[in-house]
Chains A and B, each alone.
Chain A
Amino acid sequence: MIANTPRFLDQGEATLVVEFGDSVDPEINAKVLFLDVELNSKKVSGLQETTPSYRSLLICYEPLELKRALLIEIIEEILSKLNNFPPMLSGRVWTIPCCYDGSFAEDLTEAAQALSLPKEDISRLHTQPSYRVYMYGFAPGWCYLGGLPQALSLPRRLTPRSPTPNGAIMIGGGLSLIGTHPMPTGWYVIGRTPERLFSINRDPPFLLSPGDTVLFEKITLARFFDLERRVMNGEIIAKMADSQ
């Protein structure tokens, strides 16, 4: 059951975790993101930083300025506006080009075998749904996407693979992931995007926000290199639209 009354858990005296459930679920995540947006719009004195994740919101605050009881009061007031409906998110819809060509899909053969699917089916299935940006984590700009088709759901590797390149599109643990900084992971690389989700010299440095929607558009190798050149020149090539 998903309650509007979350659990308030302390992670030390300066961090409050507001937990809405214990599963990866769009409705639970919507509540996390609703609270995140509303709380940050209030400019509460002593509130330092919030980190949304699948099912909870981490709130860093200065307890010598902001009393825990007052913080909870503010949160409960925000949540009283939720009623019983999952909140609508005003996230943006992004179309992100992805090349599933063999040279960019190091783990495609292995993933296809593990899923008992023909290799060609993977890109077809991966481009079908609209994904939801649940959270960032792991490393700067690493974006976790919910909505992966069941047919592509496979557990992560037990032993991490070699570092993934910037822009790697991965699947694992029932989710999809877009990588940035090269890191060793247990995820399977099935393609690559020329877009950069994180670029220090760009404003904004981070492209997607939790709550946004992502669609993947299959592109050829030639198109990839063309778009990559434009990205190198500072252009944002992912297409963006408002969801409502």
Chain B
Amino acid sequence: MPFKQETREIRQERKTLIVAIILFINLILISSQIILRNQRSLLQTVVGNLVTPFQVAWQSGSDFVVNQWQRYFFLRGIYRRYQSLKEVQTKLKYQNFLMKKELRDLQALQGLTVQFQDYLVARVIAVDSNFPYHVVVIDRGSSQQVVENQTVINLDGDLVGRIVKPITLFSAAVRLITSSIGGAGAYLESNRLEGFVTGNGNASCTFKYLLGNRPVKVGDRVLTSGTDRLFPPFIVIGQVTAIEKDYLTQNIQVKPYFVDKPIKHLIVIRHEEKN
């Protein structure tokens, strides 16, 4: 029987392992020379396919960490910044409100300047709490050439009423158009049908003397017609809120615009309209 002189005995498992390692190395060598259809070697393809998921995972992981880190630094102190910005925003909103109000007043005055040659801004100093839709008192009187029957409008140009007695040096009474005494010549803007608006003693007025067969719609605007020779024409009064058919005429309810707006400042038109 043949025998080999082994100087150092290696266990069979280890021998197999050594051979497997060497064979594996050889296979790698061979695979590096097998060119696939994608013009890359088998080794490159296999290594690429094995390594790419780890590369992608690594890149995604590092991107995630970097993004979270940047986000953390970005978010640090964000609450304080948020509070300060909110404060600034509140200030700006308030400024915006003030400027809008100022602009509205200026536009109203500018509009009045175009429409009327001479007017006077007055402040309401008294309202009769028992009859709030009847008379108010303003702080302009005969010393500012305020006379009876002058037209009074609010800052938006809506008809409020007219000057009535008593008129003192520094005050005057304004009879509102919602007062049940008096009235104003008016017409419907949509079809120019004329009538007469008189107050009901509450927040509404009645448009009278319109024939029953005339078309009227809820929401139509009502303006002064000027035919009463008290109020200048084309001043906005309000809008139609309800229509009731009578025998010959229609009972039309009109809500003046000024009742829904602040009545602190009013404008007294001292002369008739320019146009």
Chains A and B bind each other: no
- B positions within 8 Å CB-CB of A: none
